[in-house]
Amino acid sequence: MLENVKPMDIERRSFEIITELLGDRQPPPEIAPVVKRVIHTTADFDYAENLVFSPGAVERGMEALRAGCDIVTDTQMAKAGVNKTILARLGGEVHCFISDPDVAGEARDRGVTRAAVSMERAAALGKRCIFAIGNAPTALLALAELMDRGELDPALVIGVPVGFVNVVESKERILASAAPHIVARGRKGGSNVAAAICNALLYQIER
């Protein structure tokens, strides 16, 4: 039977259904808004188990955003999905260097991916950022190397690239790091997931 739900109530009802379907798999309150936002975006309940949070990751991400922290994404799709209105009110902006012509040229000359060069460009911003990676495992690997060299100190790493080549391995590098992180363990993820996690943090600040 079809539900008669007003347009303004669709999201609220969706989250009620998610809570009902989770049953005894309810996530802890401090991470529940992020987990449920990702499930709302993907309709994939596996994220109730495969999202891994370092201690205090959600609160640390929210603290950074309240302080005007910028967000760096590895795709234009993730950048487009982040709620830039709320972010701007907090004093932050979203960066994505993947499409910059000089990034493509440098990547070609060095024989590396544009995603890796993009992370180096982000490190050169000279500010602590939240990194939301939903597509390129090479971006996560570049972040890990930059952190190992002491050239980058992320406010939060959202590591949710999707795929098969080096995806699991790149996520494990972040999970083993000291950086605050939210990681989708395994092969699942995507730019929409990265944006959803960013928005879950932003919406909690503005609720």
From 40, 95, 121, 185, active-site residue: 40
Nearest to 192 by CA among 76, 59, 31, 53: 76
Range 162-165, long-range pairs (CB < 8 A, 24+ positions): 162/134, 162/135, 162/187, 162/188, 162/189, 162/190, 162/193, 163/135, 163/137, 163/187, 165/137
CA atoms within 13 A on the CB side of 60: 17
Cα(155)–Cα(145) distance, rounded to whole angstroms? 16
Q: Where are the alpha helices (DSSP H) in the chain?
A: 10-22, 32-42, 47-50, 57-66, 76-81, 84-89, 101-110, 114-123, 137-148, 167-175, 191-206
Based on the residue annotation, tell me whether 40 is a catalytic residue of this protein. Answer: yes
Residue 180 backbone phi and psi in degrees, to 5: -55, 135
The residues that bridge with 73 in the sheet, in sequence order, are 132
Residues acting as catalytic residues: 40
